[in-house]
Structure formats: C-alpha cells, structure tokens
C-alpha cells in the first residue's frame, strides 16, 4: 500500500488520514509561538485599564471611569441612589452602569472574570446594572464577575455596586 505525505515546514501531513507528524524542531517552534502569543495577550489585558491613583480605574477601550473600591450589598434602588449621590475621585457625575458597560469589565478567559490587578477586592458575586427588564417586572440585569454570568436579579435583593462615569447612560 502506498502512503502519500505532504511536507509542511518541519513536519509531514498524512494525506490519507489528515494527521500531522512534526519533528522536535517544529514542536519547539510551535511552543515558542504559543508562548509569545500568550505573553502578548497578557500585555494587551494589562493595557486595557489604567489605575488613576485616586481610587478610580479608566478602561482604555471604552474610556469609562470605574470606582475601584467595593461597597456593601444593596437593593437596586439603593444602588442607583448611591451612585448618583457619589462624590469620589474629584468627580460627582457617577451613575450605575448599564448592562453593556458592566459586561465590558468581563473577560471570560479569566476566572474570576474581572481583572483582579485593577479591582483586587472585587467580590465574586453579582453586581447591579441600571438596565431594567420588561416593563412592569421587578427584575433588572446583573453580572456575576466571578464567572461572567449575565442574568436578571430581583431589584429588592442585595447585590454589589460598581459605579461608573463617562460614556452614555
């Protein structure tokens, strides 16, 4: 039986089975390429945020400024009141983020899904969004920053709050 192989870089491809057979040199080169890509991904994630040194963090992609510290759990109505009344970091135009803004903090490739370098004390739990559900329902959107789950929460229950400024509410 005749086998046909196609030479690809430092390896062979079995044309019949589609399997690849690599030399040690090719495997080492692939591993080095994977490591470089992983390192570049880490650098890009580190560039996403800027610690402003005043208890706030700016997202360089969305240009939103986030409250860095943590608060106690509170109802959704209390969360809106808290953010709108917040005077912090030299600013007084804070608000509760909408669901898309809150989701912008999530990196599903990480666990927890929030960047602990910039939000080191983030609770592995749900955070309120300002986005409401269907008219007349007592449910609003929230995000679990531990696993990135986006879901509805009952507005009278307690969840955590991360206030934001900038962007469009």
**Token digits for 94?**
């804070």
Fold of the CATH domain 52-165: Mannose-Binding Protein A; Chain A (3.10.100)
Q: How far is CA 3 from the centre of its chain?
A: 49
**Cα dihedral 120→46→44→100 (10° resolution):** 40
Q: How many CA within 13 A on the CB side of residue 15?
A: 6
Q: What is the per-residue DSSP string for 48-117?
A: HEEE-SSSEEEETTT--EEE-S----B-HHHHHHHHHH--BTTB---BPPPHHHHHTT--TTSSSSS-TT
pLDDT for position 109: 86
Percent of the chain clearing pLDDT 90 (strictly above): 59
pLDDT at position 136 is 77
* pTM, full prediction: 0.74
CA distances from 21 to 5, 9, 11, 144 (A): 10, 11, 5, 43
SS3 35: helix
Q: List the chain pLDDT tens, one digit each, 169 residues.
A: 445 444 555 666 677 777 777 666 666 766 777 788 777 777 666 678 999 999 999 999 999 999 999 989 999 999 999 999 999 999 999 999 999 999 999 998 888 999 999 999 999 999 999 999 877 789 999 999 999 999 988 989 999 999 999 976 5
73: alpha, beta or left? (left if phi > 0; alpha if psi -120 to 50): beta
User: What is the tens place of the pLDDT at every residue in 39-57?
Assistant: 777 766 667 899 999 999 9
Note the pLDDT of residue 113. Answer: 92
């Amino acid at each position: 039986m005749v086998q046909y192989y196609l030479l690809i870089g430092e390896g062979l491809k079995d044309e019949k089975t589609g399997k690849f057979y690599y030399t040690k040199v090719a495997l080492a080169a692939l591993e080095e390429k994977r490591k470089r890509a992983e390192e570049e991904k880490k650098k890009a994630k580190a560039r996403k945020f800027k610690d402003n040194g005043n208890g706030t963090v700016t997202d360089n992609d969305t240009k939103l400024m986030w409250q860095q510290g943590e608060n106690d759990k509170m109802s959704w109505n209390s969360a809106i009141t808290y953010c709108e009344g917040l005077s912090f970091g030299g600013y007084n135009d804070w608000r509760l983020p909408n669901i898309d803004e809150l989701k912008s903090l999530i990196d599903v490739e990480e666990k927890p899904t929030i960047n602990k370098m910039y939000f080191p004390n983030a609770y592995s739990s749900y955070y309120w969004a300002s986005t409401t559900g269907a008219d007349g329902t007592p449910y609003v959107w929230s995000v679990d920053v531990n696993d990135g789950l986006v879901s509805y929460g009952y507005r009278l229950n307690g969840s955590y709050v991360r206030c934001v400024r900038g962007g469009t509410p």
